């Protein structure tokens, strides 16, 4: 059960913090890349790498607006990502209860 | 289960050795911290605002309670009240702006909603000016109307906006504000200030408690 139960994509400190932070937003809200970076404390390069993995799984969506210095990237948890986090939380709770 | 076994079972190439308990702690702490940082109006701000409205209501009530006939808050009371209201407004806007930096989407107020609230507030005070200019009794203009009507009208409008957004906590707070306004009207021009001050203080402290509970959940 254990290997299947915990989503390996989320069960990584940096990505767990990313999805937990984005889950604190109201549904349909987005967070700017820079604010997310401030909150998580990752370097931009590191954050991009983890966000890309989450985006590939459709857990996170990002949108870039504007050009050059005025460009702004926003990030949000998708409904699939929210469901994955709920499933992860439930599985983690079940595993801890079983210890 | 030891941390080592957990790591062996659940570890991935880039998981940094995350154990079950560590994961649970990280998840809880991160979620709680994010909810706290992203909350536009933190509990402490509501507590400060509660103290301010209590001071405003108290100062006004102390200045009008011995008046026969009723004339409204005295100049010295207004000199205390006005800066407090400005501090309340500026602090609220500054804190909310700082905390919602980088957040966009449905939770942010839309221009039409901001316009509705601005029009309502301006309209309430335009009517106040018209009533005062028309020679209506100070007890009505600077008592019942000044205290009760803004709270009732703005409270109902805000409740409607929040209900449309399905934000039931804010909607409840707005309804409570309108109820406080209605109670103030029934308390008469002198008692209205005390009722509004105490009622709004209780409402704001209730909101602070609700937000604090939500952040801990």
Closest CB to B35: pick one of A3, A24, A35.
A24
Helices (H) and strands (E) in chain A, counts: 5, 3
pLDDT at A71: 84
Q: Which structure tokens are listed for A43? A: 């370097």
Residues B38, A34: C-beta atoms closer than 8 Å = no
pLDDT in tens, B112-128: 999 999 999 999 999 99
| Helices B20-38 & A13-23 angle (0-180, nearest 10) | 40
pLDDT in tens, A51-94: 999 999 999 999 988 877 778 899 999 999 999 999 999 999 99
pLDDT in tens, B71-86: 999 999 999 999 999 9
B6 alpha-carbon distance from chain centroid: 46
Residues A32, B104: C-beta atoms closer than 8 Å = yes
Confidence of residue B108 (pLDDT cuts 50, 70, 90): confident
Confidence of residue B215 (pLDDT cuts 50, 70, 90): confident
Note whether A30 contacts B: Cβ–Cβ < 8 A: yes
Averaged confidence pLDDT in chain A: 91
pLDDT at A2: 52
pLDDT at A4: 62
Q: Which structure tokens are listed for B103? A: 């957040």
- Is residue B151's pLDDT more than 80? yes
Q: What is the pTM of this model?
A: 0.81
Q: What angle do CA A19, A21, A22 make, to 5 degrees?
A: 65
Q: Which residues of A touch B10 (CB under 8 A)?
A: 2-3, 6, 8, 11
CA quadruple B27, B33, B37, B41: dihedral, nearest 10:
110
Mean pLDDT of the region B58-75: 93
| Helices B168-186 & B146-164 angle (0-180, nearest 10) | 160
Strands A60-65 and A72-77: antiparallel
Closest CB to B18: pick one of A12, A26, A95.
A12
Q: Exposure pattern of B157-191 as b/e (b: 16+ CB <10 Å)?
A: bbbebbeebebeebbbbbbbbbebbbbbbebebbb
pLDDT at B7: 37
pLDDT in tens, A25-37: 988 899 999 999 9
Confidence of residue B16 (pLDDT cuts 50, 70, 90): low
| Helices B20-38 & A79-97 angle (0-180, nearest 10) | 140
Cα–Cα distance, B166 to A72 (Å, whole number):
29
pLDDT in tens, B176-187: 999 999 999 999
Confidence of residue B8 (pLDDT cuts 50, 70, 90): very low
Determine contact, residues A74/A31, Cβ cutoff 8 Å. Answer: yes
Confidence of residue B143 (pLDDT cuts 50, 70, 90): very high
**DSSP H or E run through A61:** strand A60-65
């Amino acid at each position: 059960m254990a290997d299947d139960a915990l989503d390996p994509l989320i069960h990584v400190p940096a990505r767990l913090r990313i999805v937990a932070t984005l889950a604190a937003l109201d549904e349909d809200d987005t967070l700017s890349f820079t604010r997310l970076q401030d909150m998580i404390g990752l370097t931009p390069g590191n954050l991009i790498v983890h966000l890309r993995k989450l985006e590939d799984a459709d857990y996170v969506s990002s949108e870039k607006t504007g050009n050059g210095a005025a460009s702004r990237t926003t990030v949000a948890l998708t409904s699939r990502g929210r469901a994955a986090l709920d499933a992860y939380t439930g599985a983690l709770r079940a595993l801890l209860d079983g210890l | 289960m030891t941390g080592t076994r957990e790591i062996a079972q659940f570890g991935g190439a880039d998981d940094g050795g995350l154990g079950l308990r560590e994961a649970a702690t990280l998840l809880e702490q991160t979620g709680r911290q994010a909810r706290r940082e992203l909350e536009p109006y933190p509990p402490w701000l509501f507590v400060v605002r509660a103290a301010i409205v209590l001071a405003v209501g108290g100062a006004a009530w102390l200045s009008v309670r011995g008046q026969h006939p009723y004339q409204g808050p005295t100049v010295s009371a207004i000199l205390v009240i006005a800066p407090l209201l400005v501090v309340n407004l500026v602090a609220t806007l500054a804190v909310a702006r700082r905390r919602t930096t980088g957040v966009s989407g449905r939770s942010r107020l839309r221009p039409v909603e901001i316009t509705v609230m601005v029009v309502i507030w301006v309209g309430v005070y335009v009517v106040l000016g018209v009533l005062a200019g028309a020679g209506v009794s100070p007890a009505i203009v600077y008592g019942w109307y000044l205290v009760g009507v803004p709270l009732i009208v703005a409270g109902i409008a805000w409740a409607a906006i929040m209900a449309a957004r399905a934000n039931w906590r804010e909607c409840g707070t707005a309804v409570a504000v309108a109820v406080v306004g209605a109670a103030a009207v029934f308390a008469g021009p002198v008692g209205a200030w005390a009722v509004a001050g105490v009622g709004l203080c209780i409402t704001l402290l209730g909101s602070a408690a609700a937000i604090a509970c939500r952040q801990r959940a």
